């Protein structure tokens, strides 16, 4: 079966999870619209611009019929620090897109014909968690993360949309959070306003990465040692405590030297001393470029100001 071959090839390329979903209307479309209505996207205006396509996964790439959905671990056992684990190594967009494109080529070789397809890794108007749940990869945790019962939630999602009518996997149908609310209680800014509802404008990841202006004073103390992103709601999750993994030595997500610091202050001072040229050299190929040097220096000033008070 071509589906078994696709999965074997995906695992061979270094993906840790793989499932297949049929494209169609997103089951979470109504929840997504309600989230937008409450303005929880903040300055991420691209969320509303692509809303119509996000509601139906057939629309971003109209030729496609199926999605090959993959997950790739980024090391939930790595020590906590001022930079979220996902951002310490190479840019996951580049790593996963390259591997998904390789999977696309191998799929064409297997069927002996051209296959129309397009890879996405957090790069298009797709509700990726919706597709991943539909492909059997996990359930939506109360912290809004997709949780897999064998790996926890420290993994990236990506998908290859193809014009093949592949046999889909059974959707993940159960919820394993139970009565647990560790993530809601642990969030320093109360960004998890309800179970599975995130107010991005209060989230430390949003404040340190997506927000372009000054960080509101009411959230600065709660940011603690964070310079880029936040892992708290994942750190406290029992599924990660039990199933999160360490990174192998060859992983592209291993921390680069400039970020390999447990204490936030030296990194904050290093960022404030950097020139644009030094920043480009140190963070080439890093997802941290998204915040730009100006954003990282803003975060560094907030952290140092709090420490000096």
Q: Phi, psi (5° rounding) for residue 217?
A: -60, -30
Percentage of the chain surpassing pLDDT 90?
95
Q: Which of 16, 56, 98, 122 is catalytic?
A: 122
Long-range contacts of 106-110 (CB under 8 A, 24+ apart): 106/9, 107/2, 107/6, 107/9, 107/160, 107/162, 107/164, 110/2, 110/5, 110/6, 110/9
pLDDT attached to residue 52: 95
User: Residues 208-253: pLDDT tens digits?
Assistant: 999 999 999 999 999 999 999 999 999 999 999 999 999 999 999 9
122 is an active site residue: yes
Distance CA 198, CA 177 (A): 16
Are 22 and 168 a contacting pair, CB within 8 Å?
Answer: yes
Q: Residue 66's pLDDT band (boundaries 50, 70, 90)?
A: very high
pLDDT attached to residue 262: 67
The pair of three-digit structure tokens given for residue 160, joined into one six-digit string: 């290859």
The domains of the chain are located at 1-254
The whole-number average pLDDT for the span 29-37 is 98
User: Residues 119-175: pLDDT tens digits?
Assistant: 999 989 999 999 999 999 999 999 999 999 999 999 999 999 999 999 999 999 999
């Amino acid at each position: 079966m071509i589906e078994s071959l696709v999965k074997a090839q995906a695992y061979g390329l270094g993906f840790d999870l793989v499932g297949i979903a049929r494209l169609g209307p997103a089951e979470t479309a109504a929840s997504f619209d309600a989230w937008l209505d409450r303005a929880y996207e903040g300055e991420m205006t691209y969320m509303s611009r692509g809303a119509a396509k996000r509601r139906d996964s057939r629309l971003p790439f109209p030729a496609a019929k199926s999605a090959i959905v993959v997950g790739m671990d980024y090391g939930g056992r790595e020590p906590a620090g001022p930079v979220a684990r996902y951002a310490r190594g190479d840019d996951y967009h580049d790593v996963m897109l390259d591997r998904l494109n390789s999977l696309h080529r191998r799929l064409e070789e297997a069927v002996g014909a051209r296959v129309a397809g397009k890879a996405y890794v957090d790069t298009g108007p797709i509700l990726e968690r919706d597709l991943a749940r539909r492909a059997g990869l996990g359930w939506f945790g109360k912290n809004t993360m997709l949780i897999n019962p064998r790996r926890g939630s420290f993994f990236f999602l990506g998908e290859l949309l193809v014009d093949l009518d592949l046999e889909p996997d059974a959707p993940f149908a159960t919820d394993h959070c139970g009565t647990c609310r560790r993530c809601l209680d642990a969030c320093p800014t109360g960004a998890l306003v309800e179970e599975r509802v995130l107010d991005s404008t209060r989230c430390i990841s949003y404040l340190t990465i997506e927000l372009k202006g000054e960080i509101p004073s009411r959230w600065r103390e709660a940011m603690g040692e964070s310079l880029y992103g936040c892992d708290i709601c994942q750190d406290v999750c029992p599924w990660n405590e039990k199933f999160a993994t360490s990174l192998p030595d060859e992983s592209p997500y291993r921390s680069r030297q400039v970020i390999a610091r447990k204490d936030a202050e030296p990194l904050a001072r290093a960022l404030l001393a950097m020139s644009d040229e030094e920043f480009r050299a140190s963070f080439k190929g890093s997802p941290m470029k998204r915040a730009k040097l100006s954003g990282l220096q803003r975060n560094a000033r907030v952290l140092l100001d709090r420490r000096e008070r």
